[in-house]
Amino acid sequence: MRKLLLTALLLSAALPLAEAGKLTMRVLDADSGEPLPARIYLQNDEGESFFPESLTTAGSALPYTEQWVPIAGSSELHTTVSPHPSYCILPPGQYTLQVERGKEYIPFVQQLDIGAEDISVQVTLQRWSDMASRGWYSGETHVHRRIHELPNVMAAEDLNVAFPVTFWTVRSDRPPDLSPSPLRRQGPSPFGPREDAGSEPIIIDASHVIFPRNTEYEIFSIGEQRHVLGAMFLLNHQQPFARLAPPVTPIATAAHAEGALIDLDKHSWPWSLMLIPVANVDLFELSNNSVWRTNFGFRTAPAVPPPWTTLERSADGGLTEWGWLNYGFEMYYALLNCGFRLSPSAGTASGVHPVPLGHSRVYVHTGPHFDREQWLQGLKAGRSFVTTGPMLEVTINDQLADHQFRVDGPGPHRFHVQIRSTSLHKPEAIEILVNGTVQHRLQPESPASSHGCWTITAEQTVQIDRTSWIAVRSVVPQQDGRRRFAHTAPWHVTVQSQPVQPRADQVQYFLQLMEAEQQRSAELLPEPAQLEYQQAIQVYRELLERAE
């Protein structure tokens, strides 16, 4: 990708003036007329990408050229620009200009005919959603962009909060360090070394903040021997970690003592089901770094899929993107049914994976104004929803997600659900889930707004007769056949002080996976790590004893 970028830049620099045209672009808010930062795609009719530069020294333009894994059609080639004019010297030809900004603006697309004459394009982006005005602010928890890039990129993506990975390790015998991108397959990172900027928040402005000290343990080998365990993140910790993993208990204990959050990268890693009870994981990525703007790539199905559900597959048997997402949903629901209090999060691994920053994101409610401490507390508690596109605001009995209701008596107990869903396309359905099962599937009709988006309001009564959790999700088909979703964190209802009842088939599945993983790793892991698997297995066995 770096070679492609350099080729495009050298080509434009070498063109004789008579054979090149200068394209100048300004991005403006359609309502206010104010300049906007944005993400720009510029491609000729042969599929070659070009990368604008800032027209002024006060501005910035950052090219992003990523194809970390060799998957056809999954290169992410764009430039994020500050709210200043940008330009590109282009050979004559037909071009497509596409400009986007986060999730709340309608993408702009224009066909351009470039000749020897200079041309200027004024791009107006129409906002279709304004979640900040409603008290919601966005962030993502799996970021591989460098700290010095983030003021530009976060503004272009309309992302309020970022947790860039500072320290990273991929081996059990090496502590996390600042070495650039240890998993890159194409040589050194084009973004330079990672840096430790300390533990204090970096305030970009009144509503944008970087929490700069975060660590990823992503274990792919035990010493020199290849042996994949998986990844977890320590978010917003105070001191660098020199501990080796596994075992994970001392790391998790120290992280929590510093007020850090532990984020589960993916549900499908071999050690994930051990981490949840042993490390007391706080966050579960409902949309993770396998979900891209470009073609879906990670299509491998689990060796033993969850037996209680059917995952969508393509004609050749691989998972579709929706199948992958539902695999994650079903694992999350089953873990909630076991009584684990996991709040949803979202991450992209932008900086390593071919995906824009914030393509998947979590919105947290902080009230009328952005407050970084309230945002962190809301992320941990689950006063939030995760989205890859649509917006979803829900209250139950006038309470936001994370509320814990306590009721007496046998029931049924009635709860009033109020839903406001907005999206650029008509929702396929809005679903109310109780303990992972769709109790109500709403398909209300609503006319599109003047900006072409769909705003749907709905109310529904949910009946609960035992301890349960409730969540809401919205599913929105796209013109290309893919689906985008929004998914709330859960509300918890405790009836007569009883715990939630696990499902036997789900717990048995978790126990089966843990016992197989313990056997696979037994000869390689140190004794403290083996004991952690035994601890997790014991937790699932105890859950199985009271499961239905």
| pLDDT reported for residue 449 | 74
The helix (H) or strand (E) run that includes residue 287 is strand 283-287
Q: Which residue has the higher pLDDT, 428 or 19?
A: 428
Please name the fold of domain 389-500.
Answer: Immunoglobulin-like (2.60.40)
| pLDDT reported for residue 158 | 97
| pLDDT reported for residue 189 | 62
Q: Are 508 and 273 in contact (CB under 8 A)?
A: no
pLDDT confidence band for 60 (50 / 70 / 90): very high
Q: Are 27 and 99 in contact (CB under 8 A)?
A: yes
Quickly count helices (H) and strands (E) in the chain: 8, 31
In this structure, what are the phi and psi dihedrals at residue 543, rounded to the nearest 5 degrees? -65, -40
Q: Same topology for domains 138-377 and 389-500, yes or no?
A: no
Q: How far, in whole angstroms, is CA 44 from its chain's centroid?
A: 30
pLDDT confidence band for 12 (50 / 70 / 90): very low
Global pTM value:
0.94
| pLDDT reported for residue 72 | 76
| pLDDT reported for residue 320 | 94
Rounded CA separation 57/79 (Å) = 16
Question: Which region among 46-50, 178-182, 399-403 has the lowest average model confidence (pLDDT)?
Answer: 178-182
| pLDDT reported for residue 184 | 54
Question: Which region among 42-51, 143-152, 288-297, 446-455 has the lowest average model confidence (pLDDT)?
Answer: 446-455
Q: Are 413 and 463 in contact (CB under 8 A)?
A: yes
Architecture of the domain defined by 138-377 = Alpha-Beta Barrel (3.20)
| pLDDT reported for residue 9 | 43
Please name the fold of domain 2-125.
Answer: Immunoglobulin-like (2.60.40)
Mean pLDDT score, 185-197: 71
pLDDT averaged over the chain?
93
Q: Which residue has the higher pLDDT, 297 or 231?
A: 231
| pLDDT reported for residue 17 | 46
Is residue 10 predicted with pLDDT exceeding 50?
A: no
Task: Estimate the crossing angle of helix 504-521 against helix 321-337, to 10 degrees.
Answer: 100
Q: Collapsing DSSP states into helix, strand and coil, what is residue 273?
A: helix
Mean pLDDT score, 317-346: 97
| pLDDT reported for residue 181 | 62
Q: What is the percent of the chain with per-residue pLDDT over 90, rounded to a whole number?
A: 85
Sign of CA dihedral 346, 235, 379, 536: positive
* Residue spans per domain, the chain: 2-125, 138-377, 389-500, 504-545
| pLDDT reported for residue 7 | 39
Q: Among 476, 470, 390, which residue's Cα sits nearest to residue 426?
A: 476
Mean pLDDT score, 88-98: 96
| pLDDT reported for residue 316 | 87
Mean pLDDT score, 176-202: 77
| pLDDT reported for residue 410 | 81
| pLDDT reported for residue 193 | 79
Give me the amino acid identity at 67: Q
pLDDT confidence band for 68 (50 / 70 / 90): low
Q: Among 105, 216, 236, which residue's Cα sits nearest to residue 161?
A: 236
Strands 108-114 and 93-100: antiparallel
| pLDDT reported for residue 299 | 82
| pLDDT reported for residue 5 | 42
Give me the amino acid identity at 269: W
pLDDT confidence band for 188 (50 / 70 / 90): low
| pLDDT reported for residue 381 | 98
Contacts of 471 (CB under 8 A, 6+ apart): 401, 432, 433, 487, 488, 489, 490, 491
Q: Collapsing DSSP states into helix, strand and coil, what is residue 429?
A: strand
Q: Which residue has the higher pLDDT, 505 or 1?
A: 505
| pLDDT reported for residue 3 | 41
Is residue 289 predicted with pLDDT exceeding 70?
A: yes
Q: What is the percent of the chain with per-residue pLDDT over 70, rounded to a whole number?
A: 94
In this structure, what are the phi and psi dihedrals at residue 424, rounded to the nearest 5 degrees? -80, -20
